[in-house]
Amino acid sequence: MKKYKIIWISIVVVLAMAVVIAVSGGVDSSNNSDTIKIGFIGALSGADPSYGEAMKGGVEIAVEEINSQGGIGGKKVEVIYEDGKCIDSKSAISAFQKLNDIDRVKAIIGGGCSNEVASITKMVDSNEVFLISSGASSPDISGSSKYIFRNSINDTESSKQLAIQIIKDGYNDIAIITDNSDYASGFRKSFINEFDKVGGVVSVDTIVQANQSDYRSDIAKLKAVNPKVIFINPAVPKTAGIIIKQIKEAGLNSKIYLTFMATPAFFNIAGDSADGATVIDLPKVTGDLSRNILTKFETIYGHKTVYEYNTVAAYDAVMVIKEAIVKVGYDSNKISNYLSKHNFSGGLGNFSFNDQGDVSGMKYTLQIIKGHELVEIK
């Protein structure tokens, strides 16, 4: 009799354990530590560290909220921050290798720049590591891996809006000056395609070295043509500021168009040279949650974030990872499948991901620079 009683007790214990595992939804059962490690790759130094800081701040705010509420399934979230330096491929590769080989993370937030993501795409795919970027926007990233998602917007959409605006402003023949970074190269290709669709012509197409301090020789070639319109298309605000200032110093009075480069770092260099330029800018973030995130950022860092959209997007990136882990476990394949099939709500509002891993439901804004201020074009 005692023998049967022991067997029944054993069965009950096993069933109870199975129920606990099922109810826990999926929090990582293979990780015996008391933390869930997530990686981060962003520009914490290099050409534009404010870009990495914007996203790091959003991640920190989200993680603090999660951990203050008990973590995920009782496990604290630990983020391991690595510097990808934006346009330095070697740094991004080293950052990924460290997170993958040593820290053994299954999910990474980043890289913030297109160059960072492009540099590690093959390694992300072959190692089956989930990655979500809150800054990379190159069209070449779309569909590059089943493990790569982004809640930053594909440049195909922003280049289309910019092309339409230039035609609307009465210009159909323009010059472009682009640096050779992955982001700028991708935007250039997409823009030329979209501008052609609406009847525009790029008569001067100049490609320069990224992250230089002097572009006067390239600008001299532009001056010889004296274009009515110049689209300045670099990877970072500092470069945009240098180019626009040197264009004005050369005596060119061309109408200027920019991507989202109008930051404090840009204005510190460009000064009054930027007045009158039109900017295709990141989507506006609104609502109580996004305002709360931005207020917390200012409290932590002592200043406002330079990139509001990216700060909020990085916060949301952490939260969608959390939701996926709760529902399906800390497994890169399961997280990827979960994101591709569900809708989400966060600081960015309501959004989802399409079959290319791109965010859906976001739109850029168009603004004009007036006295170092951005004024939205209605």
Within a domain: 301: yes
pLDDT for residue 24 is more than 50? no
Within a domain: 313: yes
Q: pLDDT confidence of 103, banded at 50, 70, 90? A: very high
Task: Count the domains in the chain.
Answer: 2
Query: Rounded to an integer, what distance in angstroms lies between the CA atom of residue 254 and that of residue 238?
Result: 20
With a pLDDT cut of 90, the percent of the chain lying above it is 84
Average pLDDT over residues 265-279: 95
The confidence score (pLDDT) of residue 211 equals: 87
Q: How many Cβ atoms from other residues are within 10 Å of residue 301's Cβ? A: 15
Tokens read off for 190: 């997409």
Average pLDDT over residues 362-368: 89
Within a domain: 338: yes
Q: Kind and range of the H or E element at 324?
A: helix 308-328
Q: How many Cβ atoms from other residues are within 10 Å of residue 340's Cβ? A: 15
Average pLDDT over residues 20-46: 70
For residues 332 and 272, membership in a common domain is answered with no
The confidence score (pLDDT) of residue 2 equals: 44
Residue 218's nearest CA partner among 198, 201, 199, 239 is 239
For residues 73 and 160, membership in a common domain is answered with no
CB half-sphere exposure, 61, CA atoms < 13 A: 29
For residues 91 and 130, membership in a common domain is answered with yes
Contact 282, 365 (CB under 8 A): yes
For residues 221 and 314, membership in a common domain is answered with no
The confidence score (pLDDT) of residue 32 equals: 54
For residues 48 and 147, membership in a common domain is answered with yes
For residues 318 and 234, membership in a common domain is answered with no
For residues 173 and 70, membership in a common domain is answered with no
For residues 277 and 160, membership in a common domain is answered with yes
Q: What is the DSSP letter of 103?
A: S
pLDDT for residue 163 is more than 60? yes
For residues 234 and 321, membership in a common domain is answered with no
Query: Rounded to an integer, what distance in angstroms lies between the CA atom of residue 132 and that of residue 66?
Result: 18
Give me the CATH number covering residue 149.
3.40.50.2300
Within a domain: 174: yes
Within a domain: 6: no
pLDDT for residue 11 is more than 70? no
Is the Cα dihedral 114, 117, 122, 126 positive or negative? negative
Average pLDDT over residues 89-105: 97
Within a domain: 307: yes
Within a domain: 271: yes
pLDDT for residue 7 is more than 50? no
Summarised one tens digit per residue, pLDDT across range 192-231 is: 999 999 999 999 999 999 989 999 999 999 999 999 999 9
pLDDT for residue 26 is more than 70? no
Give 315 or 48, the one with higher predicted confidence: 315
Tokens read off for 102: 């040593």
Q: pLDDT confidence of 15, banded at 50, 70, 90? A: very low
Q: Which amino acid is at 29?
A: S
Within a domain: 29: no
Q: What is the mean pLDDT of the chain?
A: 91
Boundary of a domain, candidates 281, 297, 326: 281
pLDDT for residue 17 is more than 80? no
Residue 54's nearest CA partner among 88, 97, 86, 89 is 86
For residues 247 and 354, membership in a common domain is answered with no
For residues 227 and 314, membership in a common domain is answered with no
pLDDT for residue 21 is more than 70? no
The confidence score (pLDDT) of residue 363 equals: 82
With a pLDDT cut of 70, the percent of the chain lying above it is 92
pLDDT for residue 29 is more than 50? no
Q: Kind and range of the H or E element at 335?
A: helix 332-339
pLDDT for residue 47 is more than 90? no
Q: pLDDT confidence of 8, banded at 50, 70, 90? A: very low
Phi, psi of 169 (to 5 degrees): -75, -5
For residues 72 and 99, membership in a common domain is answered with yes
Boundary of a domain, candidates 262, 281, 300: 281
The confidence score (pLDDT) of residue 182 equals: 87
Domain that includes residue 276, residue range:
156-281
Contact 181, 87 (CB under 8 A): yes
The confidence score (pLDDT) of residue 49 equals: 93
Query: Rounded to an integer, what distance in angstroms lies between the CA atom of residue 93 and that of residue 250?
Result: 39
Integer angstrom CA distances of residue 59 from 11, 12, 275: 43, 42, 34
Contact 339, 330 (CB under 8 A): no
pLDDT for residue 277 is more than 60? yes
Query: Rounded to an integer, what distance in angstroms lies between the CA atom of residue 305 and that of residue 284?
Result: 13
Rg (CA), the chain: 23
